[in-house]
Amino acid sequence: MENLLNIFVKSIFIDNMIFAYFLGMCSYLAVSKKYKTAAGLGAAVIFVLAITVPLNWLAYNMLLKEGALTWISPELANIDLEVLKFIVFIAIVAAFVQLIEMVIEKFSPSLYNSLGIFLPLIAVNCSILGAALFLPTREYDLAEATVFGLGSGIGWFLAVVSLAAIREKMAYSDVPKPLRGLGITFIVVGLMAFGFMSFQGFKLPFNRTDDQPKEVSSIESPKDNQVVVETIKIEQ
Amino acid sequence: MSDKIEKKAAEPLLSKKRKELLSNPMDSDNPITIQVLGICSALAVTIALEGTVIMALAVFFVLVLANVIISALRNTIPNRIRIIVQLVVVASLVAVVDQVLRAYAYEQSKALSVFVGLIITNCIVMGRLEAFALGNKPWDSFLDGVGNSVGYGWIIIAIAFVRELFGAGKLFGFPVFESLGLDYIGNGFFATPAAACIILGVIIWILRARSGYVED
């Protein structure tokens, strides 16, 4: 339980999809002009992430991982289908999004009207596929994977809603002409990412020895910032 | 069909229109700074030049081939399932790239981690397939693919240049400042992802100030 809470907090604040990994940036920038649309897409992302991450976890651990097929017959223990993970993950995401769209349209037209137009966009949102691709390297169990998906979605939602709020306010500012639109948005996102970096100093209260966030002791040393994008290695 | 082929033969291999297909995405219609596509990887992988160059090459390979394949199939793909067809083609190409990287550049493939896989949902690839390859001939699509991936590549390499030079004082792992006899302590700011955002914002500012493009 403590472990789950840890992953939940970590995936919202510390490993935020936008500010730590820059996943889902395209739609993030495209929909963040208005607060309302941002909230709509954010809600759709939470929903889809919370469901596709466990689905992809099942696909990976029951089909793709080396030795995963032993539940069918022990002779299949040597089969490693990991090369297929891209195709399987994206197919699951795309099919699921299509399915959800049809179900929502059928049973809840009002929800469809508010959420529906964003659903097709989500199939190609990097954060959905990205969360699935993190699964092989982080050895979560099913409950942890679900919490990770949910937390990542909430993190994305927070990021998109706060950027939209800032951009709405920014309409009243006098930005230099060539910087208007995309340019200033990037700078704002950069500054927000700085804000979120302060969460890295958090010591999560629940003891987990393996991936507790390292303390960023001094901003001068790039080595310490490896934790920011933990899997991208800086040549030292 | 036959007159189509004749028309194609009549147009020179690199006519003016085709040269524009190649050169526009590098500058006035750049996928990153103007079309706002493929941002995720542009920000996340640019911490060091070596990985960035590999990423640019991977995107080049995937985008050009996917463009050509989809363009060759464009008359046989049913409109309703085109997204899935595109995703499958791109995903297979990315699987090839991933396997090649694992075999010949294992360290880099580990460092790039999920971002190689995320070429699948890189909006540049999907965007060009949707906007161009579905409606144009293979050769034109090839040029469009080359133009866009080079346009993407030079921007991410420019970001990585700044980030690695000032963040670690190195270029391709070579200690530039030390070899000049200067003492340089890496500026951790440039190693953070936040810096990538700000550098990209500034690059966009410079390019747009030069071209006069104003977004409203």
- DSSP state letter for A84: G
What's the Cα-to-Cα distance from A101 to each of A24, A29, A44, A129, rounded to whole Å? 20, 23, 11, 18
Whole-model pTM: value is 0.79
Q: How far, in Å, CA of B202 to CA of B207, rounded?
A: 9
Looking at residue B12, its pLDDT comes to 66
Q: Which of A24, A129, A190 is facing B120, going by the closest CB pair?
A: A129
Radius of gyration of chain B (CA): 19
pLDDT tens for the 236 residues of chain A, in order: 678 888 888 888 888 888 888 888 878 887 888 888 888 888 888 888 898 999 999 888 888 887 777 777 777 777 778 778 888 888 888 888 888 778 878 887 877 776 666 677 677 778 888 888 888 888 888 888 999 999 999 999 999 999 999 999 888 888 888 888 888 888 999 899 888 888 877 776 655 444 544 444 333 334 444 444 444 444 44
Number of A to B CB contacts under 8 A, please give it.
Answer: 193
Q: How far, in Å, CA of B94 to CA of B62, rounded?
A: 7
Looking at residue A235, its pLDDT comes to 43
Whether A26 and B112 lie within 8 Å, measured CB to CB = no
- DSSP state letter for A63: I
Whether A87 and B95 lie within 8 Å, measured CB to CB = yes
Contacts within 8 Å (CB) and 24+ apart, B161-164:
B161/B49, B162/B190, B162/B199, B163/B46, B163/B47, B163/B48, B163/B190, B163/B191, B163/B195, B163/B196, B163/B199, B164/B47, B164/B48, B164/B49
Looking at residue A134, its pLDDT comes to 86
Whether A222 and B188 lie within 8 Å, measured CB to CB = yes
- Dig out the tokens for A132 from the structure: 């699935």
Q: Which of A134, A137, A190 is facing B194, going by the closest CB pair?
A: A190
Q: How many CB atoms are located within 10 Å of the residue A59 CB?
A: 21
Q: Which of B44, B83, B95 is facing A21, going by the closest CB pair?
A: B44
Task: Kindly report the nearest CA distance between residue A108 and chain B, in angstroms.
Answer: 23
Place of tokens 């790239």: B97
Name the residue in chain A with its Cα closest to that of B41. Answer: A22
Looking at residue B216, its pLDDT comes to 64
Contacts of A197 in chain B (CB under 8 A): 192, 194
User: Complex ipTM, two decimals?
Assistant: 0.78
Looking at residue A234, its pLDDT comes to 45
Low-confidence ranges of chain B (pLDDT < 50): 1-2, 7
A:58-97 residues touching chain B, CB 8 A cutoff: 83-87, 90-91, 94
